[in-house]
A and B are shown apart, each in its own frame.
Chain A
Amino acid sequence: MSREKLEREMSLNLDGRLPCARRDQLLARIADDEEAARLWAEMQEAQELALSLPAETVGDAFADSLWERIRSGEGTPEAVFHEPVSPWTKARYVLTGAAAAAAILVGVQWFLGDPWSLGNEEQATPSTENLVASTDDASTAEQLSTRDPEDAPATANPRRGRLTPRDPAAPPRQVLVQQPVPGQLVPFDPLNVARGSTLACYDNVQRLQRQIPQIEQSLDADRPAELVSRVEPHLRRIRGAADVLRWLEQDQLITLDGHFLAELEGLMRAIKRFEDAADQDRPQPLWVAIDAVKSVDVTRFREGFTYRCCADPDEFVRSFQQLAEVNPHAGEALNVLTVEPPVSCEPEPQAWSNAPRIQLFIQIDGNSLGWTTR
């Protein structure tokens, strides 16, 4: 394994993102190879160094000042919506604009009786699939397809120059690549959030467990304020991630594994006691928090949850089609795409098949929702 690849594996392992087999290989290499062990220690130390920087805190008047701005009716700053555009995207926009200009020029020449022909009227109508396949060209195709033939100049050849108007009753930009939908649909946005939260719990518990020997020594030196500041950010992240997982379960999007839930609940009780006592500047709950973290079986976090599937994926797809037909303005797009299986990373359930995966996207009022099959 090259050094670059070794470093990459170590970087992934720092975040708990290596599958079990590769992780075991990496740890075996670290145990056997002095250079690898030195590099691993250096990476961990650099991480601790970055994490040891003090966090910023907002001023006491932050909340009051914010509420004053809200009450005054101040709106959203415009810069909120200024997403940075990469140079490649800018280049693509320029090229697309040039292509659109060329297409319009060709279209104008066509109506004016261009010598070359595109064939019959059906070929001139852009298909629905083409509309979806290339969203950059879609607007141009729509412009051409919705142009009123009455606007064509008198000199246009009616057979060659006429375009069939787009059927206004047709759902906008809707394509089904494959139906019936194989497997079951699961919501992948909550799935990703749940996965991220589980990893956050795993990562922060693991980091705390690594620091415990040093913390226990420092407890003897009686420096509670410093220890609280080292432990508190990790506990806060664990609590935040746990809250997200519980909300997802309350919304019936995931089911938390019983063992994982038991570990998490125990940790939450200890964190609550730690937080209550930290407010009162008492050092004893540090012992409670440290004992709770020490006793966590972090391997439980890898099997943290299962996801709820939609009852009938075909019914699900039909419902979205009906939505688009009844109210095409309620949603911007409904697309069904087939994609190759993505690169898996822990925790990835073994039950996921290697068959091509269908992903279903819908946008409503600017919010994107997604489902994927398993």
Chain B
Amino acid sequence: MTRVQQEPDALALVAFNRAMGEHADGLKTFATRLLGDPLAAEDVAQDAFLALYRHLEQVPTSAFRPWLYRVARNLCLDQLRRRKFKLRLFRDVERDDDRPHTPEDAQADRPDEVAAAREARTKVEEAIQQLPTRFREAFLLCEMQGLSYEDAAAILNCPVKTVSTRLFRARQRFRALVGDVLDLGPRTAGL
């Protein structure tokens, strides 16, 4: 690991703290869905911010978000490559009873509604994990994190048209995978 001697100035520190407040959760969400492991994802998010701090002088404030996501993506893919990580559900069926209740659970009228909502959510998570990595990246960045095609293209180091195509393919496959969940009707609560 390299060591950096210079400390950033006060304005850069303010921007850094603000970026941490705004993007830490999103980074962890992105990494979790890529790795399938929330604990590893939090480490990835922290490594990304550490890298940003060490490169504060080189990264313009307006580019913090795509820069962080690009770094997080590199870290996730590196983990997947080195560990030959087998993507699995981060909520196994046998651990279902150990999950803490969510506010939606408390407000649902019936236990069967809670169970149905959890099953639907599990299916959605499974569907995302089953997407091929290159489609899943575009899906996570654009569909779920709300990044623009241009930002996603910078993160994935590919043309904008490629992002558009991958996102389209990801949506096609996702729809096919969650088809039975879509048939259940509206889900305004419990997910």
Contacts and interface: CB of A to CB of B under 8 A. Distances in A.
Contacts of B24: 58, 62
Question: What 7 A-B pairs are tightest by C-beta distance, nearest first?
Answer: A196-B148, A79-B78, A75-B1, A52-B191, A75-B2, A11-B168, A56-B29
B74 A84 contact: yes
A236 B26 CA distance: 11
A143 B189 CA distance: 67
B42 A62 contact: yes
Contact of B46 (A7, A15, A69, A204): A69
Contact of A50 (B4, B50, B124): B124
Contacts of A57: 25, 28
A182 B167 CA distance: 36
B175 interface: yes
Given A53-B125, A196-B151, A366-B58, 11 more contacts: A15-B167, A17-B149, A50-B124, A73-B3, A77-B1, A77-B50, A77-B51, A80-B48, A214-B186, A225-B107, A236-B22
A192 interface: yes
Q: How large is the interface on A (under 10, 10 to 19, 20 to 34, 35 or more residues)?
A: 35 or more
A298 interface: no
**Overall SS of chain B's interface:** helix
A199 B148 contact: yes
B164 interface: yes
Contacts of B69: none
B74 to A, nearest CB: 6
Contacts, number: 173
B42 A59 contact: yes
A33 interface: no
Q: How large is the interface on B (under 10, 10 to 19, 20 to 34, 35 or more residues)?
A: 35 or more
B114 interface: no
B102 A81 contact: no
A237 interface: yes
Contacts of B125: 53
B6 to A, nearest CB: 12
B1 to A, nearest CB: 4
Interface in B1-50: 1-4, 20, 22, 24-26, 28-29, 32, 38, 41-42, 45-50
Contacts of B61: 247
Interface in B152-187: 157, 161, 164, 167-168, 171-172, 174-175, 178, 181-182, 186-187
A42 B75 CA distance: 34
